[in-house]
Structure 1
């Protein structure tokens, strides 16, 4: 039994092949490594929306997400001379953001209870394509349910779905972010999908 066409599409198996970085981005990275701040500002504009959305989904707090996203780009600027381009720039940025999200989550337990928001309440969250009011209401309900289901998964399983399904990373890129093998990612994705679908059907 499946969840719904929309959720099935969202949880579709990620590609094993990472997308190739654009020539323009590679040029901007090299310029930024040489100290060109305008080139780095271009990089920030290309990645800040997705990175902020990732931080929102991880932390579920807009204040923390904004600060962590800003800190991630500061760290990236400081470490950019060491970036060798073996991984995609976006993958490297996700690694930085994930580590900062984990650090923030460890130190905010009390404040989190006061400021945590449901995903649908998060300001500036990535928007879905235009749909009819009925379709939008149904999709919103399913996404709310999906995020409740994600919350019950162990962190390792929740993380692979966030990176592959929501962020669009390939399994190889996900493995680089999480520091594990592609085979390990495949196993986690399979277990996460099964646990989430079992939970979804029980909730019915």
Structure 2
């Protein structure tokens, strides 16, 4: 079992530090004062994590790219109204999560439209960057995440794979930290059961 599975089982990536959060706030204030370079820096600081979150959630590289781009478009439009009640990263994840949910709802509506559309939507052609990202246990982890409920998948991706703290997950999901801990416990058990059932 490799490091990817160990990460999913509970050893998360490093959390975003308080220094990271402070720098995000500094850049946001500059961006709100019409400094385009500051917003560009925010994009560069967060685009990789947000893309990977969107990819793991949607399981489609093209959709993930579009949602990640849309997240920053929405964030730029909403920037004047941003209030420092939570971290900038939390705010970005909330936007991305809502857009991912919208994209999945739209995909479900398309699947009910016709049999041919359903086949196309549920079995997207593999793109080169998908093939590059997926290999070995990463491909298996991707399948395991896809088999999970939306609630379990979202908290596992944010906490275990993207390295967000329970506090930040709670802010994004709009629930208590205790609820995050419960969801995460159940999600790990769900993924572990799937993993072992498929030869883990």
Distance 2:138 2:32 in 1: 40
Gaps of 5+ in 2: 111-116
Distance 1:121 1:73 in 2: 21
Q: Which moved more, 1:184-193 or 1:74-83?
A: 74-83
Q: Normalising by the residue count of structure 2, what TM-score does the alignment of the two structures yield?
A: 0.81
Q: Kindly tell me: are residues 177 and 11 of structure 1, through their superposed partners in 2, closer, same or farther at Cα, counting changes over 3 Å?
A: same
Q: How does 1:71-90 map to 2 (within 5 A)?
A: 71-90=70-89
Regions of 4+ moved over 6 Å = none
> Which residue does 2:43 correspond to in 1?
44
Number of equivalent positions: 186
* Alignment deviations for residues 73-112 of structure 1 (CA, whole Å, 9 cap, x no partner): 1110111122222211111101101101111122234352
Distance 1:123 1:67 in 2: 18
> Which residue does 1:174 correspond to in 2?
169
Q: CA RMSD in A?
A: 2.5
Q: 1:18 Cα deviation (Å)?
A: 6.6
Q: Kindly tell me: are residues 163 and 116 of structure 1, through their superposed partners in 2, closer, same or farther at Cα, counting changes over 3 Å?
A: farther
> Which residue does 1:122 correspond to in 2?
130
> Which residue does 2:186 correspond to in 1?
191
The answer as to whether partners of 2:60 and 2:130 remain within 8 angstroms in 1 is yes
Distance 2:170 2:126 in 1: 29
The answer as to whether partners of 1:172 and 1:182 remain within 8 angstroms in 2 is yes
Gaps of 5+ in 1: 128-139
> Which residue does 1:148 correspond to in 2?
143
Q: Kindly tell me: are residues 142 and 88 of structure 1, through their superposed partners in 2, closer, same or farther at Cα, counting changes over 3 Å?
A: same
The answer as to whether partners of 2:59 and 2:146 remain within 8 angstroms in 1 is no
Q: 1:72 Cα deviation (Å)?
A: 0.8
Distance 1:62 1:202 in 2: 27
Distance 1:168 1:25 in 2: 17
Distance 1:65 1:5 in 2: 25
Distance 1:100 1:33 in 2: 23
